[in-house]
Amino acid sequence: MNGNGNGAHGVGVNFPLKMTNRKVNVFYGEKHALKGVDLDVRANHVTALIGPSGCGKSTFLRCLNRMNDTIASCRVTGEIVLDGQDIYAKEIDVVQIRARVGMVFQKPNPFPKSIYENVAYGPRIHGLARGKPELDEIVSHSLKQAGLWNEVNDRLDEQGTGLSGGQQQRLCIARAIAVQPEVILMDEPCSALDPIATAKIEELIDELRKHYTIVIVTHSMQQAARVSQRTAFFHLGNLVEEGDTQTIFTNPKDERTQGYITGRFG
């Protein structure tokens, strides 16, 4: 709670709402995993989703780019609106949604290909680059934005899986950035990393906020306090409380939130 979150760049209501979500319900077969969640995501803010294991925060995150589609038994109801467009509407192409809403996963999962190929894959399938020089430019720009360029610029043709854990995760971030998404979802991106690598990723998240809207799921409340401007607390499939990170951590309204952030449960 050292307040880094509010400092570097602008925050507040003069930023438009990027995503508005109303009455989001998720069912896994018979199981009601997410119960009527209303949560707004403000542009160029970092929104942290916190809560104990199994509370539905990852499930909610995966609704935002329709990754839940890959689970056969999963059913989503309610409204998830990206820039005025319901992403679950029939006429929406899921491939386009995932290009606009990128994702970084819990475990670094670079493709077992070269570093260059990892970053170039997204632009290539979406046809974002005309010709090799343009693609090179996108790759180097993305790696620079992900803060990895200086470490790998002389070995772009080496295997991405040969990097250290923290580097792999930044490579995954670079890979997501290369598609030029509007929103980046991060599902516990630091849980498999050591503190130094974690610090680097956190710095990076704050930097990325200038250009992207970020939603991050985290188990670490310190991390939520450090990197986010908005925090949402989930519990047993319900969105218990949501608001400014400062407020949530210093003056929570709900006693469940208070109990969780003070370590009484969870």
Partner 1 sequence: MTEMAIGGPLEGEKRAASGIHTSEAAKLRLKSRYSAERRFKLYGIAAIVFALAALATLLFTILGNGVTAFQQTFVRIPISFEAEAIDTSGKRDIDELRRGDYAALIRSSLSKQFPDVTDRLGQRQLFGMFSAGAPDQLRDMVLAEPGVIGQTRDVWLYASSDVDMLNKGFIDRKTPEQSRRLSDRQISWVDTLASSKAIEKRFNARFFTGGDSREPELVGVWGAVVGSFFTLMVCLSLSLPLGIMAAIYLEEFAPKNRFTEIIEVNINNLAAVPSIVYGLLGLAVFIGFFGFPRSAPMVGGLVLALMSLPVMIIASRASIRAVPPSIREAALGLGASKVQTVLHHVLPLAMPGILTGTIIAMAHALGETAPLLMIGMVAFLVDIPSGPLQAATVLPVQVFMWADSAERGFVEKTSAGIMVLLVFLLAMNALAIFLRKKFERRW
The binder of partner 1 chosen from 49, 99, 183, 239 (CB under 8 A): 99
Q: Retrieve residue 238's tokens.
A: 């319900």
* CB 88, min distance to partner 1, A: 16
The answer to whether 166 contacts partner 1 (rule: CB under 8 A) is no
The C-alpha angle 200, 201, 206, rounded to 5 degrees, equals 100
Whether the CB-CB separation of 176 and 103 falls below 8 Å is answered with yes
264 three-class SS:
coil
By CB under 8 A, the count of residues binding partner 1 is 26
Beta carbons of 171 and 110 less than 8 angstroms apart: yes
Q: Does 111 bind partner 1 (CB under 8 A)?
A: yes
| Shortest distance (Å) from residue 256 CB to partner 1 | 31
Burial of 23 (0-12, 13-18, 19+ CB in 10 A): exposed
Long-range (24+ apart) CB contacts under 8 A made by 133-136 are: none
Q: Which of 15, 27, 88, 121 touches partner 1 (CB under 8 A)?
A: 121
Which residues, numbered 178-217, are part of the site for partner 1 (CB under 8 A)? 179
Q: How far is the CB of 159 from partner 1 (least distance, A)?
A: 10
Task: Report the distance separating Cα 102 and Cα 87, nearest Å.
Answer: 14
Token pair, residue 41, equals 């995501």
Q: Given candidates 110, 147, 189, 237, which one binds partner 1 under the rule CB under 8 A?
A: 110
Residues 53-72 that bind partner 1 (CB under 8 A): 65, 67, 70, 72
3-class SS of residue 187: strand
Tell me: does residue 170 bind partner 1 (CB under 8 A). no
CB of 233 to partner 1, least distance (A): 25
Does residue 105 bind partner 1 (CB under 8 A)? yes
| One residue of 22, 35, 126, 219 binding partner 1 per CB under 8 A | 126
Rounded to 10 deg, the angle between the 132-145 and 115-126 helix axes is 120
Which position among 18, 45, 57, 98 is part of the footprint of partner 1 (CB under 8 A)? 98
Give the nearer residue to partner 1 in terms of CB position, either 159 or 258: 159
CB 50 to partner 1: min, Å: 22
Cα separation, 221 vs 241, in Å, equals 15
Does 125 contact partner 1 by CB under 8 A?
Answer: yes
**Cβ distance to partner 1 smaller for residue 83 or 244:** 83
The alpha-carbon radius of gyration of the chain (Å, integer) is 18
- Contact between 122 and partner 1 by CB under 8 A: the answer reads yes
- CA angle, corner 33, sides to 31 and 35, nearest 5? 115
Where do contacts with partner 1 occur on this chain (CB under 8 A)? 65, 67, 70, 72, 95-99, 102-103, 105, 107, 109-112, 121-122, 125-126, 161, 172, 175-176, 179
